[in-house]
Amino acid sequence: MVYQHCFSFMDFLFQHFSLSLLYVLCFSLLSIFILFSNFFLSLGILLLFLGFFLGINLMHNMRRQLKRIFIHVSVFFSLNSICHGISLISLLIVDQLTLSLWKFNCQKSVSPP
């Protein structure tokens, strides 16, 4: 009787384990499909139609041009950010100087002679 009860309990655990394994596999497959759908939507479905209508050579040329643009952007991004940082700092200094001169002139005009 105890053996029968233990066997049914193990059978119950195995069934639930296989069911949970099936759920895990289904959810992982679903997540892979969602990942691929997001990837293809981010690329755009129109690129697929362009490949059919315009040909694969044009698609390779477009990809090569985009790669060149991305390389230039990544090289010059640090220089652009440095220049933007310098211009923002100089703008802040000019703004602070203007504000302090304005305050000084207001205090000078308000003070008694």
Contact 47, 59 (CB under 8 A): yes
Mean pLDDT of 2-31: 64
pLDDT for the residue numbered 26: 72
pLDDT for the residue numbered 1: 46
Whether the per-residue pLDDT at 12 is higher than 70: the answer is no
pTM of the model: 0.26
Helix intervals (H) in the chain: 2-43, 46-54, 56-110
Cα distance between residue 63 and residue 56, in whole Å: 11
pLDDT category at 111 given cuts 50, 70, 90 is low
Cα distance between residue 94 and residue 89, in whole Å: 9
